[in-house]
Amino acid sequence: MKTRSKIQEQHSSLFSSLIIMIIVGIGVIRRCNGEGYLIGVGSYDMTGPAAEVNMMGYANMDQSTAGVHFRLRARTFIVAESSQGPRFAFVNLDAGMASQLVNIKVLDKLKSRFGDLYTEENVAISGIHTHAGPGGYLQYLVYSITSLGFVQQSFDAIVNAIEQSIVQAHHNLKPGSVFINEGDVVNAGINRSPSAYLLNPAEERARYPSNVDTLMTLLKFVDDASGKSVGAFSWFATHGTSMSKNNLLISGDNKGAAARFFEDWFSSSSSSSTTSADSSASLLSLIKKAQSMKATGGKLCGKTSSRESKVRKNNGSLFVGAFCQSNVGDVTPNVLGAFCADSGRPCDFNHSSCHGNDLLCLGRGPGYPDEILSTKIIGERQFQKAAHLFTTATQQLTGTIDYRHVYLNFTDIEVELLDGNKKVKTCPAALGPGFAAGTTDGPGAFGFQQGDTKINKLWRKLRDALKKPTPYQVDCQKPKTVLLDTGEMFVPYAWAPAILPIQMLRLGKLIILSVPGEFTTMAGRRLREAVKETLISNSNGEFDDETHIVIAGLTNTYSQYIATFEEYAQQRYEAASTLYGPHTLSAYIQEFEKLAKAMAKGEQITKGPSPPDLSSVQLRLLLEPTGDLPPPHTNFGDMKQDIIIPKSGSFKKGDRPIATFWSANPRYDLLTEGTFAVVELLQGKHWVPVYDDDDFCLFFKWKVDNITLYGTATIEWEIPRDADSGVYRLRHFGSSKKTKDSPNIYFTGASSGFAVS
């Protein structure tokens, strides 16, 4: 005979099940009516080699990875109309940009898993444009010269992360709702080429309040069954150059920082569980207890030990917050402006140089001279706006999911200009002398200035030794003077892309334009307006002024910059890096209008010529890792320099405890979804991880002695203001070299304990 409590439990269980069934049923009905979607999000570690690999972005030969500021991730959302219906996947990479070869290999892997469910048509892979990630993953030579060619380990880390994040998102698909919100981000970007922007027509400029786009567009993803938010993706334009070209730590820069802040904010606001020390302990007892906790010395550990010590364990259920890039071409996060390093005065307005020297003109972030602080501030400004948009989002997206994608040979597109009386063409890729000058975010080579249209005799001879441009190319690129004729250079293989993808993704009244480069502010505005006008004029009221158009920059491949025709005339950095000549933007607008018209009318389009797979011919000149062995009579994980305790006996909030361990090269194992560094808090008799190398406050630095070739890992913890008082220690994880006779040997070591008051 059942007891009353058991009957009540059974009724309660049945009632709960009924409620869930009703909620799910409503979701099914909404989807049948075209109002609801299946949604899924995923995230995976793509940090890559943290030592001796040149960073992608500044093209600085001296900037090779030497540790981790915080880890890089691939973040994905998928939306679908039904389990087998129209869908698309958008992947946001903590990388400098997308790569054509990465796309090719990812799509191969997805085909083997899912058949034709995810293809080049409906998968977009976009980079945030950090300049602090490992390079060597793009297939065209001009983008891999400084990384000494192709770096397989860097490439594999990105490909694997994209695949795994998509797999997570796919398996997480469930009935859900998508909300959209927009708002302006204050003081997170200024125009770094303002003189070029002023060349755009005055009446056009008068339509906008600023010479940069300040609008952030955010999508909020909500699980219909639980009502719980599972992710948020936003688009906003600002460069990933808060970290300078002198930085050696892997970092997602300001957008990666914003993502970390957002995800941690959501996690803390959604959970009541905390990890804390014994707050009743006196400072004297904390110091005494810390003194008894000695360094462990290097010890062997398991392959998964670093994953088990990870603070944010990735089981596929974590909230995913992504900060995507937009028309970022001329937008810098160094919002204080550009100043001369020698005089402190503002740089020359037209050329961004100092007395004719481009190397002296440097942009300053809001935390100047602390670039870590600048990264944090610009990241926080984006995060705070995103959090506000997230919590106030009420406009729900409903309606059709659709997409269009085409490959184009951008070296030879015939463009009909707006007046209809003249046809022009794009050109083979080329770079001008203004490209060599660099920008205020990262000055280039001495002897060049932005706006240069002349090349001295020495550089002309060097250029011609590589490849003298054809008369057609010289004329086609004017007023750019060809410094590097990358589009006509094919030894040992292609230096620049010719075949580019463009793509449109539709989620109801949201249109995402996937562009393979960096549009300047005005170039992006023109593209958005042209697409919107085409959609409205070719549909039967399905699109209107409420249609949202977002540019997803640096997506699916990379082809540098896209400036307006007027900006091209001045040949500042962005124009000199507009590869396909003065009519590049017009070509983009024309071809996107074709996609928009096809989408509005429900028509299909021809795929176009497929890009090449150059994986078999890549140069691979990076040397093997160094740091094979520890010094005699020591083990990996042993202390080289233990924590130095302050005279007061304890550290205060804001202090920086530092410990150095004998360590192997982090290239021997990337510890993907694990950590090289951990801060542990003593709870009772157990050490509990509370910060790892995915935290903004913890720094992992690795270097090798050039004489002895012994490697060391230094862990620095900037104690947060909200850290608990207690006893802590720093722990390091690593792996030794794998040989033919033995697998990787994993090790760990921990510093002595120290008190934080």
Note the pLDDT tens digit of each residue in 566-579: 999 999 999 999 99
Q: Is the pLDDT reported for residue 425 higher than 70?
A: yes
Query: What is the model's pLDDT at position 721?
Result: 95
The mean of the pLDDT values for the chain is: 93
Distances from the Cα of 542 to the Cαs of 182, 381, 398, 548, in angstroms? 21, 35, 12, 13
Tens of pLDDT along 143-158?
999 999 999 999 999 9
Same domain (yes/no): 523, 643? no
Predicted confidence band at 278 (pLDDT cuts at 50, 70, 90)? low
Q: Is the pLDDT reported for residue 634 higher than 90?
A: yes
pTM flag (> 0.75): yes
Both tokens of 552, joined, read 């997803």
> Which whole number is the average pLDDT over 70-76?
98
Residue 397 CA, distance from chain mean position:
26
Measured distance CA(318)–CA(310) in Å, rounded: 14
Element housing 716 (H / E): strand 711-717
Nearest to 656 by CA among 707, 610, 714: 714
Same domain (yes/no): 581, 724? no
- Cβ-contact 749, 285 below 8 angstroms: no
Both tokens of 484, joined, read 């590097």
Position with higher pLDDT, 274 vs 402: 402
Position with higher pLDDT, 280 vs 348: 348
Is residue 518 marked as binding? Answer: yes
Instruction: Give percent above pLDDT 90 in the chain.
Output: 89
Distances from the Cα of 133 to the Cαs of 97, 155, 387, 700, in angstroms? 10, 12, 26, 15
Same domain (yes/no): 595, 643? no
> Among residues 601, 635, 650, which one ends one of the domains?
601
Same domain (yes/no): 587, 687? no
Is residue 405 marked as binding? Answer: no
Q: Is the pLDDT reported for residue 274 higher than 70?
A: no
Same domain (yes/no): 129, 84? yes
For residue 307, is it within any domain? Answer: no
Tens of pLDDT along 486-543?
999 999 999 999 999 999 999 999 999 999 999 999 999 999 999 999 999 999 889 9
Question: Helix axis angle, 584-601 relative to 521-538, nearest 10°?
Answer: 30
Element housing 568 (H / E): helix 565-568
Q: Give the residue numbers spanning the domain of 743.
A: 623-756
Sign for the pseudo-dihedral over CA of 495, 444, 137, 152:
positive
Distances from the Cα of 181 to the Cαs of 22, 89, 510, 548, in angstroms? 28, 20, 11, 10
Predicted confidence band at 8 (pLDDT cuts at 50, 70, 90)? very low
CATH number for the domain spanning 641: value is 2.60.40.2300
Residue 519: strand, helix, or coil:
strand
- Cβ-contact 719, 655 below 8 angstroms: yes
Token pair 């070719």 in the structure block, residue: 538
> Which whole number is the average pLDDT over 549-557?
98
Same domain (yes/no): 636, 728? yes
Is residue 239 marked as binding? Answer: yes
Same domain (yes/no): 317, 224? yes
Same domain (yes/no): 634, 576? no
For residue 426, report the phi and psi dihedrals to the nearest 5 degrees: -80, 175
Query: What is the model's pLDDT at position 19?
Result: 38
Residue 462: strand, helix, or coil:
helix
Please tell me the total count of domains within the chain: 2
Same domain (yes/no): 203, 235? yes
For residue 306, is it within any domain? Answer: no
Query: What is the model's pLDDT at position 36?
Result: 82
Same domain (yes/no): 503, 578? yes
- Cβ-contact 440, 347 below 8 angstroms: yes
Query: What is the model's pLDDT at position 22?
Result: 41
Same domain (yes/no): 511, 394? yes
Q: Is the pLDDT reported for residue 16 higher than 60?
A: no
- Cβ-contact 325, 553 below 8 angstroms: yes
- Cβ-contact 174, 223 below 8 angstroms: yes
DSSP secondary structure of 424-461: EE--S--B-HHHHHB-SSSB--TT--TT-----HHHHH
Q: Is the pLDDT reported for residue 14 higher than 50?
A: no
Measured distance CA(41)–CA(27) in Å, rounded: 18
Any idea what the Cα angle at residue 334 is, between residues 330 and 335, rounded to 5°?
Answer: 95
Strand-pairing partners, residue 125, are 91
For residue 486, is it within any domain? Answer: no
- Cβ-contact 646, 33 below 8 angstroms: no
Is residue 197 marked as binding? Answer: no
Same domain (yes/no): 586, 661? no
Query: What is the model's pLDDT at position 3?
Result: 38
Predicted confidence band at 12 (pLDDT cuts at 50, 70, 90)? very low
Nearest to 89 by CA among 105, 73, 74: 74
For residue 33, is it within any domain? Answer: no
For residue 457, is it within any domain? Answer: no
Token pair 């804390």 in the structure block, residue: 276
Distances from the Cα of 217 to the Cαs of 220, 233, 322, 523, 596, in angstroms? 10, 8, 12, 18, 20
Residue 576 CA, distance from chain mean position:
24
Both tokens of 263, joined, read 């995800």
For residue 617, is it within any domain? Answer: no
For residue 447, is it within any domain? Answer: no
For residue 744, is it within any domain? Answer: yes
Strand-pairing partners, residue 191, are 331
Sign for the pseudo-dihedral over CA of 274, 280, 283, 284:
negative
